[in-house]
Chain A
Amino acid sequence: MKNNKKTIAIIFVSVLVVATLVLLFMAAVNSGNAFALRIQGIMTQLYGGIFASLTLFTLTLVFSLPIGLLVCFARRSRFKIVALITKFYISVMRGTPLMLQLIVVYFAPYYLFKIPLSSNYRFYAAIIGFSLNYAAYFAEIYRSGIEAVPKGQYEAAKVLGYSRQQTFMKIVFPQMVRHTLPPVTNEIITLVKDTSLAYAIAYIEMFTLAKQVAAAQSSIMALFVAGAFYYIFNLLVAFVMGRIEKKMNYYSK
């Protein structure tokens, strides 16, 4: 109860601070402050890119979090060949630059099969490239989380007659989620910043636009505004994940 009140207070104060800043900014724009007007101009130009970055971020998470679990299962498979192939997949995903992977996913259909590239495909290529890469990282995080569950938990479950699926769903998975939240948060924050790599295949997201604006204005301001967006968005991610982590901490040890 006490904790709840504290949370509400924190949220209330943060909203108040942000609202004040926004109001101040709007007032500055209205009063014709040159600096404020310039920032506003940059923000209008980055607007479409922000949406593109958020779409890329959200869809990548939606796909890579569950695919990562499947990859993790394959990596731990009893069938040696499946485990080996998955291990190779993970090592390639981790061992080569994400930018290169994006370019390969984007151009492979043309170079390998002579399928003409459409600009529609750019979007799908970005999602596919990011999801495949992040799934590999999530798989390894999940694996460490599963392996952190003590052997005694499996033995207790076995003696009580739980099936393999029940043991995983009821006993192992909840404990794994708790073990893996901090590294998953890390990965999500990295993803926010990594979306800027999509410029490698000319997917128009915020960073691409910021660079264009900076070049056009021959001023670094646009890059600073873009940086501020990434930073604020990551503050939000860290805050939300922190809340979830706290919620999962109902049992310690």
Chain B
Amino acid sequence: MKLLEINNIRKSFDDNLHVLKDISLSVNEGEVVSILGPSGSGKSTLLRCATMLETMDGGTLSYCGESAVTEVDGKSMYMPKSDLKRIQNYFGLVFQNFNLFPHYTVLKNITDAPIHVQKREKAEVTEEAMALLGQMGIEDKADCYPCQLSGGQQQRVAIARALAMNPKILFFDEPTSALDPELTSEILKVLRDLAARKMTMVIVTHEIDFARNVSDRVIFMDEGYIVEQGKPEDVIDNPKNDRVRAFLRKVKG
């Protein structure tokens, strides 16, 4: 089943800075998709359009077969707020710099939205949150404030916070870019666990080895286009496109 379907997204800033030129992408249930590409290629903008943090100029967007954005006369048309609010529940997003709420404890960071947005039972949500923290290996931090945690721990809390909403698909925007190598491996391990549990994920990353080992599909973006996509061993080890080859050569050193 197609969880996410994006067709012909176009997005520009200030009229002439075309960040996304024509991107189509669909993600199936249980699939792990990594998005690679140089800075400025539009990876993050694609994720921000998909999660509706950014409004797209053209193209369509739908989750689980429900349209969030349709296209009329070549322009994106957003569905009414009530529809978007329902569709919002299908996805979660983990940020590069965590964006935890500093004035809430770890536990409240995770439980507040399920309780007050999804109106779920507090006891049940708390139990689930503790289980998630256990899964992340930080259940002893439940009563800490984010500032008392390491970057890696904060990111694990952020992942738990996203998972607590029971999304069908989880987006990661460079989840390890703000972390040092040791903490990076912590987070990659968590992502690997999630992949093993068949969590559907779209990950923007610079970790080439991780993308090769974990993803079912790798997408390479450049200058607002998807220039190559396919199985990781094809895209990363035998790229056909010159641009991809040049980038990988540089990254691999």
A156 at the interface (CB under 8 A from B): yes
Give chain A's interface residue range (CB within 8 Å of chain B): 20 to 34
Number of A-B contacts (CB under 8 A): 55
How far does the Cβ of B119 sit from chain A's closest Cβ, in whole Å? 11
Pairwise interchain contact B95-A161, C-beta atoms closer than 8 A: no
**Alpha-carbon distance A250/B146, docked complex (angstroms):** 11
Residue in A closest to B117 when the chains form the complex, CB atoms? A161
Pairwise interchain contact A251-B165, C-beta atoms closer than 8 A: no
Pairwise interchain contact B51-A159, C-beta atoms closer than 8 A: yes
Report chain B residues within 8 Å CB of A156: 95, 99-101
Pairwise interchain contact A175-B103, C-beta atoms closer than 8 A: yes
Pairwise interchain contact B117-A160, C-beta atoms closer than 8 A: yes
Residue in A closest to B100 when the chains form the complex, CB atoms? A156
Contact with B along A210-253 (1 / 0, CB 8 A): 00000000000000000000000000000000000000001111
B53 at the interface (CB under 8 A from A): yes
Pairwise interchain contact A152-B95, C-beta atoms closer than 8 A: yes
Pairwise interchain contact B117-A155, C-beta atoms closer than 8 A: no
Report chain B residues within 8 Å CB of A158: 52-53
Pairwise interchain contact B53-A155, C-beta atoms closer than 8 A: yes
Residue ranges of A at the interface with B (Cβ–Cβ < 8 Å): 150, 152-153, 155-156, 158-162, 166, 170-171, 174-175, 178, 250-253
Can you report 27 A-B residue pairs in the complex whose CB atoms are below 8 A from each other?
A150-B99, A152-B99, A153-B99, A155-B53, A155-B95, A156-B99, A156-B101, A159-B53, A159-B88, A159-B92, A160-B113, A160-B161, A160-B165, A161-B89, A161-B113, A161-B165, A162-B113, A162-B116, A170-B101, A170-B116, A171-B101, A174-B103, A178-B103, A251-B145, A251-B146, A251-B147, A252-B147
Residue ranges of B at the interface with A (Cβ–Cβ < 8 Å): 51-53, 85, 88-89, 92-93, 95, 97, 99-103, 112-113, 116-118, 145-147, 161-162, 165
